[in-house]
Amino acid sequence: MRQALHSIALAVSCLLAACGLVACGGGGSSSSSGSGSHSSTFTVGGSVSGLTASGLILENNGADALTVASGATSFTFSTAVASGAAYAVTIQTQPTGETCTVVNASGMASADVTGVAVSCGNSVAMDVVPGPASSGSQTFNIPLVSVTVCVSSSSQCATIQDVLVDTGSTGLRLMASVLQAAGLTLPTLSDPNTPGNSIHECVQFADGYTWGSVATAGVVMGGETTSNPVSVQIIDDSATPSPAAPTGCVVGSSLNSVNAFDANGVLGVGVFDQDCGTDCTQGAQHVYYTCTSAGSCSATTLSLADQVSNPVVAFASDNTGVLLTLPTIPAAGQATADGTLIFGIGTESNNALGNATVLTADQYGNFTTMFGGQPYPDSLLDSGSNALYFEDSTLAASPCPQSSGGAEFYCPSTTQSLTAENEGQSGATSQVSFQVANLSQISTSNFAIDDVGGPMASGYFDWGLPFFYGQNVFILFQNSSNESGSYGAYAY
């Protein structure tokens, strides 16, 4: 099924104006089928990812130093540990010019330990592939990464695969069922003002809403880790969410499912630090709710420190923004595309802005697109939307057949070559050339497509994932640099 995915999280101030797995385990061990419980000793090892430099030295229990070569994908200490004995893997020496972290580092050995995970570098793989939705609900242009979440800063962690990278929203949101399958329970956020109540959140996207509890977690991606636990949303994807979403939350359809996003969660790395900001500290905005144990919920305020926030901002380093890279693909699309999500801007050799044009955002996180002689003041670069969404009366006269998504996409008889101009708040401009093809003529086996468009509400120009192919796209977080300004910026 080719379904539209608009992942723009509507700003609270805009709403007020009425505008439009692989479990890492928890302190235990991961055993191979060949390890018997009657053995007196067990080996300790695990996986390595992203190591591109030499010099990494690991230790177990403060000894048994092990040098790990550049490019290695696994390791095993030479000295085994006794059955029932503790193991604790630490980094003695970081590799040259690179930072690594260890997840699921400690526990008690009851079998050969293979679940320790060492991750290095300031980037992770970002792949456009068929997502985890059922076969009838998979759609195209969904950039997916793996995210490791931990109970606070402990070694009780799980790696959640197939999380959507979304530059149009802020914060990490994971499906409750996926966390449950991974064997991880994150501590929920209690209402700081009402003991006994818990905090829940409603997020209204352009085509629906998510509802679920707020929890806290440590987040690890590549060699980066949050300095302190951050608030995340646990999307209640059960058949009957409890508590139920309040009426003030319900707008459009529920997105509380893997099928709705074609992902196990959403990693929002938009320009803002928090998903609501000062609006939710000054008054109840039907975003955060305080809920009793009996299931009664009412809108409430929440401090910035407790709001669901961009986990990259909380990284100890490389926390000024993100860079998304995807290859150039043919006009007919291709089956998949392999890209990279890089952390930090101007912090390392692989994330320099260079001569990219910087478009500063307004207080809503938007810039202006001029297209067809008309301004679109609510424009943004949005990797979480799977097409270029904008209003065009000529293209609207040629909607796709119902079998291809109906009026959700444009299907012109011939490919249309178009141009637009993007302008930031600082006055910087950039010319953009793009195409809109007939989606019904593109193979349904292709999940990476750079020339698909669809209709959008007046005033919006949603530069979805097709914009990201073949170029470096930077998201500069608010107040992170002179270039980013107070509300963040986009650059390409």
Rounded CA-CA distance 308/318 in Å is 20
pLDDT in tens, 425-464: 999 999 999 999 999 999 999 999 999 999 998 999 999 9
The residue type of 425 is Q
Residue 162, pLDDT > 90, answer yes
Closest CA to 39 of 80, 89, 100: 80
Mean pLDDT of 138-149: 96
Q: Taking the C-alpha atoms of 322, 328, 332 and 335 in order, what is their torsion angle to the nearest 10 degrees?
A: -60
Q: Taking the C-alpha atoms of 72, 75, 79 and 84 in order, what is their torsion angle to the nearest 10 degrees?
A: 170
Rounded CA-CA distance 248/347 in Å is 42
Q: What is the pLDDT of residue 21?
A: 29
For residue 14, the surrounding DSSP H or E stretch is: helix 12-16
CB 414 within 8 A of CB 408: no
Q: What is the DSSP string of 102-146?
A: EES-EEE-SS-EEEEEEEESSEEEEEE---SS-TTT--S--EEEE
Rounded CA-CA distance 218/417 in Å is 45
Q: What is the pLDDT of residue 31?
A: 36
pLDDT in tens, 19-62: 332 223 333 333 333 344 457 999 999 999 889 899 999 999 99
Rounded CA-CA distance 311/173 in Å is 11
pLDDT in tens, 178-224: 999 999 999 999 999 998 999 999 998 877 899 999 999 999 999 99
Total Cβ atoms within 10 A of residue 62 = 9
- Cα–Cα separations (whole angstroms), residue 276 to 13, 162, 201, 207, 368: 9, 25, 11, 18, 22
DSSP 266: E
